[in-house]
Amino acid sequence: MSDQQPPTPSPPGPYPPVVYVQPRTNGKAVASLVLGIVWFWGITSILAIVFGSMARREIEESGGTQDGRGLAIAGIVLGWVGVGLLVVVVVVIALAITAVTHLSPVPSPTPTFV
């Protein structure tokens, strides 16, 4: 038998370069923040809540490839503040209308005979 030794494994080669991918900001998170800031009779507030909730879910499911969770949360909070502001405005208007109609009754015109 021959006295041959098995070949020794070669040292490992260079490792592949590490590629860092910067997370992208979720567009719905940005839209949620903008809609929460721009208050237009509560319509944009409701949209801010919807877009913010969708963005949070997408960011959590992205596995780190999307960013903007703070923007989405800020949009949701501003959306709820806008909804609360809408409720206050509606209540104030309703109270003002009620107060005006009860404080100064409109006199009925008196008939005039010629």
Q: Mind giving me the DSSP string for 1-41?
A: ---PPPPPPPPP-PPPPPPP-PPEEPHHHHHHHHHHHS-ST
Amino acid 5: pLDDT: 74
The answer to whether the pTM exceeds 0.85 is no
Amino acid 2: pLDDT: 60
Amino acid 30: pLDDT: 97
pLDDT in tens, 30-49: 999 999 999 888 899 999 99
